[in-house]
């Protein structure tokens, strides 16, 4: 099939590439001409495991191309996906201006029937607004259908999530676009749920909010574990073996971050409020998440007492492993709090240091994780990178003035660490 994706961020670029990988002909559009140039030249503006290889392969096969022209994108395909940002506004509501602009641009370029699919995360009832906008701005007065098709990929695992999805959600207002949508997704061999547009839009916000709730739940349980001498990892495993609960997203830590959960939670709370419902449960999820960070900082200050004049090594800057993304990263938040307390920081991240440099100033960036501990008073693990498990613990222990580690992601085994001579503090254990 011929498909167009508007927006080449994480969602748009990975989606377009995976569509090409299963045999569709895909044109990716972005209004940022400089970014399009990079992509046309074989560059990839983001780090995502496996993506660069797939882009190269599909460009070479003639199935994937890039353009800055929305008109070209609309002309070349019958199905047009919108994957542009929906950033938060100061009051928690969603800025819909990118979606609205793209809808107008598509409308202006349409000369025959098109299916316009929204992939961006949007408030419920956005489909209706997009349809109204297209109808108003379409000079050719041609027929069209609007579809909601939310995306569930995780950064760092985006290619994997896209190629092997748990489910595909397709929200429609009429049956006409269903056959084409099934054809788009047939190669992915996943269950396809056909529903109305409002339900499809709600599925996305309800899913992300539920996952955030799951994390806050286990973080709350971790507080209880610390108070009672239980081990949160054992509790999570015991809970998670119940298929109704599941083990995933039950890892206690310093809280969730990133460009999705915090934003989507605020948006969902706002949407609920606008619909006349006070979603207090989700406000508590936010509250627990904020407290989790406070509690971790307190753990550090209670042990080290005064941070002024102390040097702390921080492992991890990205909001999670396998990404270079530092947006709303708990690790960056933690660094800023430690700096505010007067600490000097030596930091390292396997992929996120370039992006961190723009937001985290006045710290020493260390290229080799095994050199971070040199001259530090303590070591902090802030992101769950698997690489950190390979840290040379003996070398780090000797390099520190005192062998203290605060593990905000429970990467190491507590008993093992104590045996090795560490003063080891983690979460809920």
> DSSP character for 314?
E
Stretch that binds ligand UGA, among 59-67, 146-154, 174-182, 344-352 (CB under 6 A): 146-154
Stretch that binds ligand UGA, among 80-88, 192-200, 207-215, 421-429 (CB under 6 A): 207-215
Q: Cβ of residue 392: shortest distance to ligand UGA, in angstroms?
A: 24
Provide the pairing of β-strand 311-315 with 192-196: unpaired
User: Does residue 268 belong to the site contacting ligand UGA (CB under 6 A)?
Assistant: no
Q: Cβ of residue 75: shortest distance to ligand UGA, in angstroms?
A: 29
If the CB atoms of residues 15 and 133 are measured against ligand UGA, the closer one turns out to be: 15
CA gap 143, 112 in Å, rounded: 7
Q: SS3 for 145?
A: strand
Residue 215 backbone phi and psi in degrees, to 5: -65, -45
CA gap 273, 290 in Å, rounded: 21
User: Does residue 8 belong to the site contacting ligand UGA (CB under 6 A)?
Assistant: no
**Which listed residue (14, 250, 338, 396) binds ligand UGA by CB under 6 A?**
250
If the CB atoms of residues 66 and 261 are measured against ligand UGA, the closer one turns out to be: 261
Cβ(270)–Cβ(91) under 8 Å?
A: yes
CA gap 251, 132 in Å, rounded: 43
Four-residue CA torsion sign, 47, 50, 56, 61: negative
**Which listed residue (253, 316, 352, 403) binds ligand UGA by CB under 6 A?**
253
Burial class (CB in 10 A: 0-12, 13-18, 19+), 168: buried
Q: Cβ of residue 311: shortest distance to ligand UGA, in angstroms?
A: 25
> Is 376 one of the catalytic residues?
no
Locate tokens 């489909």: which residue? 127
Nearest C-alpha neighbor of 255 from the set 270, 244, 265: 265
Of 18, 28, 138, 260, which one is the catalytic site residue?
260
Stretch that binds ligand UGA, among 83-91, 221-229, 247-255, 418-426 (CB under 6 A): 247-255
Stretch that binds ligand UGA, among 96-104, 194-202, 220-228, 252-260 (CB under 6 A): 252-260
Q: Which residues bind ligand UGA (CB under 6 A)?
A: 121, 151-155, 208, 211, 215, 249-251, 253, 256-258, 260-261, 319-320, 384
For the annotated catalytic residues, the residue numbers are: 260
């Amino acid at each position: 099939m011929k498909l167009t994706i508007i927006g080449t961020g994480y969602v748009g670029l990975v989606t377009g590439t995976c569509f090409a990988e299963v045999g569709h002909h895909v044109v990716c559009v972005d209004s940022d001409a400089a970014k399009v140039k990079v992509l046309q030249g074989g560059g990839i503006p983001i780090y995502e495991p496996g993506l660069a290889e797939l882009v190269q392969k599909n460009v070479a096969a003639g199935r994937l191309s890039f353009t800055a022209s929305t008109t070209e994108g609309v002309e070349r395909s019958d199905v047009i996906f919108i994957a542009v940002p929906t950033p938060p506004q100061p009051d928690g509501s969603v800025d819909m201006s990118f979606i609205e602009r793209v809808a107008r641009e598509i409308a202006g370029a349409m000369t025959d029937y098109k299916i316009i699919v929204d992939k961006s995360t949007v408030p419920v009832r956005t489909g209706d607004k997009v349809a109204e906008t297209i109808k108003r701005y379409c000079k050719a007065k041609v027929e069209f259908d609007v579809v909601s098709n939310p995306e569930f990929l995780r950064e760092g695992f985006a290619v994997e999530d896209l190629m092997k999805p748990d489910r595909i959600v397709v929200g429609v207002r009429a049956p006409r676009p269903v056959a084409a949508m099934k054809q788009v997704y047939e190669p992915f061999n996943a269950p396809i749920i056909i529903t109305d547009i409002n339900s499809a839009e709600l599925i996305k916000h309800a899913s992300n909010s539920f996952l955030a709730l799951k994390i806050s739940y286990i973080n709350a349980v971790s507080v209880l574990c610390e108070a009672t001498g239980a081990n949160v990892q054992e509790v999570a495993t015991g809970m998670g073996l119940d298929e109704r609960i599941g083990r995933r997203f039950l890892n206690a830590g310093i809280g969730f971050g990133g460009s999705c959960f915090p934003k989507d939670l605020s948006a969902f709370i706002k949407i609920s409020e606008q619909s006349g419902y006070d979603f207090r449960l989700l406000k508590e999820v936010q509250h627990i998440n904020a407290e989790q960070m406070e509690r971790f900082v307190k753990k550090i200050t209670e042990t080290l007492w005064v941070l002024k004049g102390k040097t702390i090594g921080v492992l991890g800057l990205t909001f999670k492993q396998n990404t270079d993304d530092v947006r709303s990263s708990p690790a960056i938040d933690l660094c800023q709090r430690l700096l505010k307390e007067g600490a000097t920081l030596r930091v390292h991240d396997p992929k996120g240091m370039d992006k961190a440099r723009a937001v985290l100033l006045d710290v020493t960036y260390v290229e080799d994780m095994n050199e971070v501990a040199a001259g530090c008073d303590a070591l902090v693990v802030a992101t769950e990178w698997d690489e950190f498990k390979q840290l040379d613990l003996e070398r780090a222990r000797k390099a520190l003035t005192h062998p203290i580690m605060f593990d905000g992601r429970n990467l190491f085994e507590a008993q093992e660490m104590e045996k090795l001579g560490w003063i080891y503090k983690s979460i809920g254990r």
